[in-house]
């Protein structure tokens, strides 16, 4: 039984899917590029120490960001049979927003330099909340085949946020003021995204869809996804926090400058396989393990090929691009480049594994894998950062995420053999 109405948004699904997907891809690439350029702007206008503060604020707020997202986007867009109404997804995002604020309050005391940085951290929390609401609205647009609207919104965000952030920072020299201005822009664009998404709602009211009980039930269903995303965010935060505590904000600023463009790669790679998540879900629900394994294998092969090309180009592209973007001083820290690249490649594999297991509803495995990885990173970060400097942060992430990828692969293969690919929900 489903919550979705038989009519509703179907009448407005008129856009060409391939064309709208191109819009979404373009918007995502530009938005991620703008987020990277923010690091360049901070580094160039305010220096590496300020970029260290910016990097730490991003990492610290990523824990709250993981909570507000709850790992629900792949679940939402692979809900091909309308198991949950749109109102339930929106209500669940309201609940995760409150949980994100609570998570922020818990992690704040453990952040290095919190007495000086707490206003900046609070602004980044609010910004992350707006991005969380953007995510669920874009999920609604994607299910309605209006990914062009989501792509256009991302283009607007990219241009406006970069311009306002850079302008305020250049004029005032205040990183906090620039962050506040970026938050205001994000809130304004969020209003536009709501206006675009609202006509595509399925028309089922929250009360008719099961009310808040149903929304909290969805959160419980997706709790393993939260655990996985939360563990990943904590995995990024813990070693970076160790760099700031042991080596100082300036060295963290150089690490963040080198890592920022590479961290875009796993998200960009995700747009190779995201359009195929509904197909993976249908193979699972229809009991076609062979087709499921074949499609997952092809996607993994594509990801591996992209990673190989990226590593082949890195020595030729990486140093000159970093030198142009951040100045000659960053070239003294190029020893950080290859370990960061390796950790990012591991991240891309983990992202893919999580997405496949989410689409096939084996989300309990994602939680177990993430817990294993976080335990490894948390136990090794201080020692590795002490021993190898900032590269120790990358080494900790590599080991932890490779272990995570192994657990994810094992969970997928066991699921194929023990259940023949049938549509049982695990976890």
Residue 3 counted as domain residue: no
Would the pLDDT of 426 be above 70? no
Residue 427 counted as domain residue: no
Q: Which carries the bigger pLDDT value, residue 373 or residue 285?
A: 373
Residue 59 counted as domain residue: yes
Residue 130 counted as domain residue: yes
236, 238, 311, 260: which is closest to 37 by C-alpha? 260
Residue 255 counted as domain residue: yes
Q: Which carries the bigger pLDDT value, residue 230 or residue 280?
A: 280
Please state the rounded mean pLDDT for residues 317-335: 86
134, 193 in Cβ contact below 8 A?
Answer: yes
Would the pLDDT of 397 be above 50? yes
- Domain enclosing residue 51, as ranges: 8-419
245, 110 in Cβ contact below 8 A?
Answer: no
* Beta-carbon count within 10 A of 256 CB: 27
pLDDT of the residue at 16: 64
pLDDT of the residue at 427: 43
Would the pLDDT of 12 be above 70? no
Tell me how far apart the alpha carbons of residues 354 and 356 are, in angstroms, rounded to a whole number: 6
Tens digits of per-residue pLDDT, 30-39? 998 898 889 8
Residue 1 counted as domain residue: no
pLDDT of the residue at 325: 80
Band of residue 119 on the pLDDT scale cut at 50, 70, 90? very high
How many domains does the structure of the chain reveal? Answer: 1
Greatest mean pLDDT among 75-84, 123-132, 196-205, 349-358 lies in 123-132
Residue 143 counted as domain residue: yes
**Taken in order 295, 297, 301, 304, is the CA torsion positive or negative?**
positive
* pTM greater than the 0.75 cutoff: no
Bridge partners of residue 362, in order along the sequence: 426
Q: Which residue has the tokens 């875009």?
A: 264
346, 303 in Cβ contact below 8 A?
Answer: no
pLDDT of the residue at 26: 87
Residue 134 counted as domain residue: yes
Tens digits of per-residue pLDDT, 167-221? 999 999 999 999 999 999 999 999 999 999 999 888 888 888 888 888 898 888 8
pLDDT of the residue at 90: 93
Q: Which carries the bigger pLDDT value, residue 250 or residue 420?
A: 250
31, 73, 42: which is closest to 186 by C-alpha? 31
Would the pLDDT of 393 be above 50? yes
């Amino acid at each position: 039984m489903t919550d979705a109405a038989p009519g509703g948004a179907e009448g407005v699904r008129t856009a060409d899917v391939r064309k709208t997907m191109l819009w979404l891809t373009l918007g995502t690439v530009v938005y991620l590029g703008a987020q990277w350029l923010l690091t360049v702007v901070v580094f160039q206008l305010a220096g590496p120490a300020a970029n260290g503060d910016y990097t730490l604020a991003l990492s610290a707020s990523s824990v709250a960001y993981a909570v507000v997202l709850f790992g629900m986007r792949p679940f939402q867009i692979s809900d091909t049979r309308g198991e949950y109404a749109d109102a339930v997804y929106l209500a669940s995002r309201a609940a995760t927003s409150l949980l994100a604020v609570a998570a922020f309050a818990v992690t704040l005391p453990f952040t290095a330099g919190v007495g000086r940085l707490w206003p900046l951290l609070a602004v980044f929390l609010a910004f992350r909340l707006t991005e969380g609401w953007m995510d669920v609205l874009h999920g609604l647009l994607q299910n309605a085949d209006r990914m062009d609207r989501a792509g256009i919104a991302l283009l607007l965000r990219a241009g406006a946020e970069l311009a306002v952030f850079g302008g305020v920072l250049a004029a005032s020299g205040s990183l906090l003021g620039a962050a506040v201005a970026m938050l205001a822009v994000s809130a304004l664009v969020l209003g536009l995204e709501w206006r675009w998404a609202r006509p595509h709602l399925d028309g089922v009211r929250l009360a008719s869809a099961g009310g808040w009980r149903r929304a909290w039930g969805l959160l419980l269903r997706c709790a393993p996804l939260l655990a996985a995303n939360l563990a990943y965010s904590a995995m990024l935060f813990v070693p970076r926090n160790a760099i700031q505590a042991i080596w100082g904000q300036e060295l963290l600023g150089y690490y963040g400058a080198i890592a920022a463009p590479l961290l875009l790669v796993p998200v960009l790679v995700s747009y190779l396989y995201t359009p195929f998540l509904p197909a993976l879900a249908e193979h699972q629900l229809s009991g076609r393990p062979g087709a499921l394994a074949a499609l997952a294998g092809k996607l993994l092969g594509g990801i591996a090929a992209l990673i190989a090309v990226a590593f082949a180009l890195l020595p030729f592209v990486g140093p000159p691009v970093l030198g142009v973007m951040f100045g000659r001083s960053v070239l003294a820290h190029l020893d950080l480049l290859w370990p960061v690249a390796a950790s990012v490649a591991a991240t891309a594999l983990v992202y893919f594994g999580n997405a496949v297991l989410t689409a096939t509803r084996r989300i309990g495995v994602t939680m177990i894998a993430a817990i294993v990885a976080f335990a490894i990173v948390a136990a090794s970060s201080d020692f590795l950062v002490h021993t190898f400097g900032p590269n120790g942060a990358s080494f900790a992430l590599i080991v932890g995420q490779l272990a995570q990828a192994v657990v994810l692969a094992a969970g997928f293969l066991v699921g194929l053999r023990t259940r023949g690919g049938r549509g049982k929900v695990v976890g």
